[in-house]
Amino acid sequence: MSNIIPTFQRTNGSSWVQYSVANPAGGSAGASVAVSVTCQDSVLPPSGQYTVDIELGQDATWYITGKSSAGFTVNLQPRLASATLAAGVFNARVTW
């Protein structure tokens, strides 16, 4: 799933936040979901030199891959192997 974010909301000099980034449901119990977050204007620092924090509304873990000035990928996985991710939204905060 890909989310094109034309502009992040600037919270201060080196922090940006995006609310309600959509994520799809997991395909089965324990399955992870990858959500591509693209910043249309490449406003992020080059070489992925930033930190991403995610706020989820469900019982899941997350990690970030593919960081660049154009965006990153959020990988969501249910905390329990017997659980399935629900479709929903998450908030992303980027700081550098």
Is the confidence at residue 2, as pLDDT, over 60?
no
Q: What is the pTM of this model?
A: 0.86
**79: confidence class by pLDDT, cuts 50, 70, 90:** very high
- Buried b / exposed e across 2-37, counting CB within 10 Å, b at 16+? ebebeebeeeeeebbebeebebeebeeeeeebebeb
CATH 2.60.40.2080 assigned to domain 2-95? The reply is: yes
**The pLDDT of residue 57 is above 80:** yes
pLDDT of 4-50, one tens digit each? 554 555 556 677 888 899 999 999 999 999 999 987 666 788 888 99
The domains of the chain are located at 2-95
What pLDDT does 15 receive? 78
